[in-house]
Structure 1
């Protein structure tokens, strides 16, 4: 029996993607856009859906994990970061999930596992670095690249594919509640440091790398009143001269592979719905 093109690692990536997408149903495509927040249950030795706090009704406890393992799933959110997880037990469990997806789902598409890693992999026993506002104070992008490399190796050991870092937001309002996640107020400094981080996290060969995620596109740190999620009031010229620069540097020089849009809005339109931002500028 001839092996499908998408399963042949010797074929070019674009050919494999075209072949795979052509075989997928609408439901399977939607499921690839789905992520489940999982937590390790030490008593059962397996992953279970996490309920995101008593004040947030997510119905997470009613999620049928077996359904997703049979039908397909795009991502697993923070399997090691929701609660303390023994690294060995967690890695074994994640590998078990991957095995079931490959063997039991119709197309055998493995899942992407992502974790927070802004100042080190946010998991039990992982190396913890200073907050990113200290990265900028070093003026040493090579040092930050080395930190990213340490984070990369620890994430790979756990079977993690994507890291939700670095933060490319330029610090222009000290009232903003996430200021410690930023690298500084100068766009060139921020761009230089995040590029170093991206190079460390992704490595020289993506077969051994972790996908870096630039965030939060774009202007997120310049919100009204310094409040998280609040609208951003900024002109296009200032946006492009100040806030685009770190993202541009990390994409063009660091070859970053993913990006997260911000949760704010410009004149009532969120970045995730902006054709101008995501298509005309980014793509």
Structure 2
């Protein structure tokens, strides 16, 4: 009987000792784990930071597109006080604008985004399509805007640059809200226009319509509706051949200019 009692006491002491040792072992292991950063939280932070950086990159890219494009967009003033916009087409200093901006004049004043003044000479103008080309010798050698030869699609996000109401370096945003619009204003017939939701106003005429993802020119802002936010832009691809012909062989006699 005494022998069994002694064995029972020994087993009890062994179990208690094992329990105490196990408790200290678990406590030490948990303590080490608690001191370590959470893997889930760290991964979540990395993913969140990546998202933020990605959005910042997209925002900076849009700002870069605007800042770079503004250097190549000009304000156009005529002797009679008319104001319009234009943009650099090539490294020869040729500036695209609307015909109605420079109608009846041979020379115009060109004002850049950094307030440099140049004299420009009209070297091409149409009496049917609202397009004209101005040569600005002082801008020769400057890098022009890139032209997109693919047709824009409904819903494409766009930027309209120019000098509405004489306010230089104005940028408005919108989308291509309609395709293949036709209209007639005064002497010009507009065919296959882009309808845009980016607000434009008098003074925007001749300024570029840019694809907001690439900064490439897709159109020439030409007209706006009196009601609502609806503008119209001539697809650049529709008039490139005419513009190129003027650049290579400037007109010697301009309609309406003596």
TM-score by length of 2: 0.24
> Comparing both structures, which one devotes a greater share of its residues to strand?
2
Larger radius of gyration: 2
> Comparing both structures, which one devotes a greater share of its residues to helix?
1
Question: Which one scores higher on RCO, CA 8 angstroms, separation ≥ 6?
Answer: 2
TM-score by length of 1: 0.23
